[in-house]
A and B are shown apart, each in its own frame.
Chain A
Amino acid sequence: MVVHLLRSSVLALALLLTAPLPASAEPRPLVWGDTLPATLDPHAIFDVPSQFILLNVYDGLMRYQSNPPQLVPWLATSHTVTPDGLTWEFTLRSGAKFQDGSEITADDVVYSFRRLLTLRRAPSAAFTPVLTPEAVTATGPHSVRFVLSKPYAPFLSAMPLVAIVNQRVIAPHVVGDDWGNAWLATHSAGSGAYRINPDNYQARVSMDMERNPDHFMGWANNAHPIESVRSRPVMETSTRVLALLRGDIDATDSYLPPDQFERVQNNPRTRVARDESMRTFLIRMNNARAPFNNHDARLCLAHAFNYEGFNNVILRGFVVRNGGPNPNNLWGNPPDLVPYTFDLTKAKEYCDKARAAGVDLSRPIEIHVQNELEQSVQAAQLFQSDLRRLGITLRIVPNTWPGITGATSSAETTPDMWIHWVSTYFVDPENWIGQMYDSQFHGTWKASSWYTNPEVDRLLRAARASLEQPERSRLYSEATRLVVADSPDIWIYNTVNLRGLSRRVQGYSFSPVGSGGEMRLMSLEE
């Protein structure tokens, strides 16, 4: 009896384990394997994954499209700015609706900006120095006025950071002074091309979206839009690649390891989308501390990194050499900028000059790497081996992003050196050189080289205040020339984004803002 029961149980188990899934009449939804943000509240977080929510679930007054990114009117149809650069007025598109069917009005824009500026979380940082909640007002049902406290040219380019939210949906869920933050962390209140199903949402694990057929941009340009999107982030790189090859997911993140390029490209059901982005990779130096406070010592280090070996051998040429703080493909760069080259003879000459001036290069230098990001470790190891030939000891310290950025609040705690990328949040030199080398930003991770040059400060502040694009371009070019000559950091490459895609995904269009995650443009070919 017992044996019979056991045999039946084993048989049933074997049947369950080996039974194929019933074929479904519905087409398999698109499965997006990129990272999800920690919260769905678009006013609470400001990182690369959150742009996926911003692009698909919400709309802003302006939006970046294509590559190189063009700033196009979105919920706004036009804008004006007074000659002093202080008063900006936006006219809204009429007839645009939220996902609950209510119309988007100037009041919603005012509410959204006030919510952003009062919560004072990450996306607000681009506005709070020049904008108060009271300075955003509705001047009509479809016009909004912003009065800045001082001229700020990047204001327009930062506009796509702000999602316009539906205050009527949020209002019942406000607790105390949280502006509905806890509720919006797991729900949505947008007008975007896709709506989230909150029942299946699990933070950073799964998010299901269905198409919003009433999106104000319409679907005329996409004959076969994707009806259902299943966002299923895959944590481990090797699993992510295998999942794509196997057909479990339709897209990896946009940082496919270069050594996986051929494997994915040669698979009959997958391909790699390869697009130059605006995401620079660099090694920071703490200019407030010896030996980095010496120009010759910095020049020595700038000539001791093997750019060619790292970019073309380790990363197999899937990056573009970038010799300055701004991405090559952005305006505001001097056309004749010459990047530093790997030249150990020249490096030794500079080191000798520094030593002759009394600089101590014998102490071990610490370089902090983001241990979970392999490229930062590889760059440090390569640098370590070449510096050894110059008699400089480089000690690699594994760390995490919050660990390092937390330490950059003061020059004393900022590491000797550290490695990171600067992604595109808004397309303006302010996002790179402006916030990295103007000394007013000391204490933030972006300005963590503690570089000070009064002339650079003057140029960057003038560029920030000017509304004339040719003038701004000239000022940024001049500042870039000075910064590169001072060599406060070691600029290595501009990223080429590699995203593994299943071949059934059509219409994928990359933009450095959002890394090509705009579902509205894509379709599925079965």
Chain B
Amino acid sequence: MLLYILRRIALALPALFGLIVLTFVLSRVVPGDPAGTLAGDAATPAQIADIRARYGLDRPLLEQALVHVHQVVSGDLGNSLFSGRPVSEEIMQRLPATLELTFVALVFATAIGVSLGLVAALDHNGPIDHVVRIVSVGGLAIASFWLAIMLQLQFSMQWDILPLRGRLDVALGMPHRVTGFLLVDTLLAGRLDMFGDALRHMVLPAITLALPGLATITRFTRSGVLEALQKDYVLYARAAGYGRFRLAAIYVLRNAVTVTVTQIGLLFGALISGAVAIEAVFDWPGLGTYAVQAILSADYKALLAVTLVVGVVYAIVNVLVDVAQALIDPRIAQQPR
């Protein structure tokens, strides 16, 4: 198993290297000159050229790319062109908010999606199955941006039962930052009131973010369970007198869920990128809003770092998915690669 894990990690490294090079090239070939913005309104062309030289923006693209790769490989993501602060520090301030939201959304999507998929498959072509299919198609079709605003209007403005925006009520202040994950830090600070408030702030963005993923998981679980139900071992188990629920929840689901786990890994990446729009609507101070601000100000150092961090998180999640699959189905780790 250890060898299997190491092999998966080794396979992720070239992909990350490719990501570093590709994102650099993309960020520098698109138009946009941060030197002009840095120099300000009244700057003369000479002043703009001076700033361009100071930040190395006038060097040949290949030279800039090599410097960038060298910096990243040495663990230095550089400084933001505008704040002058290390980008890694700024990202570490924002990353926990995105990871927390994504994680909660994923847990929600998985718990509900797997349950719905299982129930729908057991009621194949029955009324529950039909309803679940309609709901899952709807979940995939609805634009997140629209859903977010509708949820805000109904739950925050009309019924006034859930917060509209942000991570915590401004009157409560902030807990001492330990991990950056508010659900953890509020508990560490022993502030249940803050924990409850943080949880309430998370409901609407997490549901919005989770819905397309939930629909996907439901559909994959449903088809996986339906396929597994056709296997001989199910017939044998039924003949042996296993109860319907025990058979489905323990034996069928375990065999059916391998594909779903792969989907969950892919979904994690989709959820992080989907968080960009949702963070903007709910004013969630995560990596998505940071990336948008970096794009609008042509802060390419910040943008490159965000892309890389998302890539690393995605790679880690995929390694974890591979491991999870091997644990669920040990045959996977045994297969020669």
Contacts and interface: CB of A to CB of B under 8 A. Distances in A.
Interface of A: 13, 15-19, 21-22, 24, 26, 28-29, 31, 38-39, 41, 44-46, 120-126, 128-129, 178, 181-182, 185-186, 200, 202-206, 230, 232, 234-236, 238-239, 242-243, 245-246, 248, 372, 399-403, 405-409, 425, 431, 435, 440-446
Contacts of A236: 280-281, 283
A351 B203 CA distance: 58
Contacts of B156: 242, 246
A412 to B, nearest CB: 13
Contact of B84 (A16, A22, A181, A425): A181
A125 B40 contact: yes
Contacts of A403: 30-32, 298
Contacts of B161: 18
A45 B164 CA distance: 31
B245 to A, nearest CB: 13
Contacts of B172: 21
Chain B: interface secondary structure? helix
Contact of B37 (A178, A235, A402, A443): A402
Contacts of A408: 36
Contacts of B173: 200
Given A45-B82, A202-B285, A245-B157, A406 B31 contact: yes
Given A246-B157, A400-B298, A185 B84 contact: yes
A404 to B, nearest CB: 8
Interface in B24-62: 30-45, 47-48, 50-51
Contact of B36 (A232, A400, A402, A441): A402
Nearest to A441: B44
Given A400-B298, A402-B296, 8 more contacts: A39-B84, A205-B93, A235-B280, A242-B153, A402-B37, A406-B34, A406-B36, A446-B42
Contacts of B30: 403
Interface stretch (B189-197, B250-258, B263-271): B189-197
B42 A16 contact: no
A406 B47 contact: no
Contacts of B296: 372, 400-402
B289 interface: yes
Contacts of A39: 82-85
Interface of B: 30-45, 47-48, 50-51, 79-80, 82-85, 90, 93-94, 149, 152-153, 156-157, 160-161, 163-166, 169-174, 192-193, 195-197, 199-200, 203, 280-283, 285, 289-290, 292-293, 295-299
Contacts of A405: 33, 36-37
B42 to A, nearest CB: 4
B29 to A, nearest CB: 12
Contact of B40 (A16, A121, A205): A121
B44 A445 contact: no
A245 B149 CA distance: 15
A157 to B, nearest CB: 12
Nearest to B289: A235
